[in-house]
Amino acid sequence: MNSIVCIKRVPDSEARIRVAADGRSIDPSGVKFDMNEYDKYAIEEAIQRREAAGDGQVTVITVGGDEARETLRQALAMGADDAVLLRADVSLDGLPIARALADEIRGRPFDLLLFGKQAIDDDGMQVPAMVSELLGLPCATVVVSLQIENGRAIARREIEGGHEVVEFELPGVIAAQKGLNEPRYPSLKGIMAAKKKPLEEKDVALVDGGLELVGLTGPPARPEPQIVGEGAEAVPELVRRLRQEVKVL
């Protein structure tokens, strides 16, 4: 069972995000970075499949700056076998990333190509399905469970009010959602072993997509909060304001 997992380094979900003075990027000072949460489910799934099959290779790939090396080492420490850093400046447009990943993956043999369902920086939810189309492969996104039998995958994906059952022949693509598994933490042994695992690096030139960043701003300000009162006695006044001030009841 050979898998390729695409992972991304992103600001931690706790991070306070401030727009930098240039109005086009975020101020990285004080921001902690981590592997994208959903990508951890993707790696875990690939490792578990390799372990169950008793053989195979898990390759992790990222498109990013030098700092992303650390994220790849983290994946190797979890148990991936080798890693590829495609060095480039990434933007908020998913297409150039998808193209670079597809170019790297084309020609590599694999059974499963895994992604996280969403990168929590650009929140695009687009790279996995884009890559699947660029490679002409079947794909299930937002996957919460996966069964593989005789080369056929049966995935359940989250939709409004339930799940869709999606079936396809391998090789294919899945994008992992929380619930797929419990990602492991790297062990000390894993961290030591990761230092000796192969990590290939190459520069890639991203081909611009069709989106140009005009600017970044903070979120629109919320109205001044008002405490209506304390306990159940405040309820009639709350209802009055919901009806008369903001007219939502």
Amino acid at residue number 72: L
71 binds, among ligand FAD, ligand AMP, other proteins, none (CB under 5 to 8 A by kind): none
Other beta carbons less than 10 A from residue 23's beta carbon: 11
158 binds, among ligand FAD, other proteins, ligand AMP, none (CB under 5 to 8 A by kind): other proteins
Contact between 37 and ligand FAD per CB under 6 A: yes
Per-residue string for binding with ligand AMP, 102-131, x by CB under 6 A?
-------------xx-xx--x-xxxxx---
192 or 207: CB nearest other proteins: 207
Contacts of 194 (CB under 8 A, 6+ apart): 73, 74, 76, 77, 186
CB of 202 to other proteins, least distance (A): 23
Interatomic CA distance for residues 108 and 103, integer angstroms: 10
Contact between 62 and ligand AMP per CB under 6 A: yes
Interatomic CA distance for residues 21 and 29, integer angstroms: 12
Contact between 13 and ligand FAD per CB under 6 A: yes
The answer to whether 39 touches 63, Cβ cutoff 8 Å, is no
CB of 83 to other proteins, least distance (A): 24
Interatomic CA distance for residues 197 and 84, integer angstroms: 11
Per-residue string for binding with ligand AMP, 177-216, x by CB under 6 A?
----------------------------------------
39 binds, among other proteins, ligand AMP, ligand FAD, none (CB under 5 to 8 A by kind): ligand AMP
171 prior amide bond cis, ω within 30: yes
* DSSP designation for 86: E
Q: Which of 113, 104, 122, 129 is nearest to 8 (CA)?
A: 122
By the criterion CB under 6 A, which residues form the site for ligand FAD? 13, 37
By the criterion CB under 6 A, which residues form the site for ligand AMP? 6-8, 36, 38-39, 62-64, 90, 94, 97, 101, 115-116, 118-119, 122, 124-128
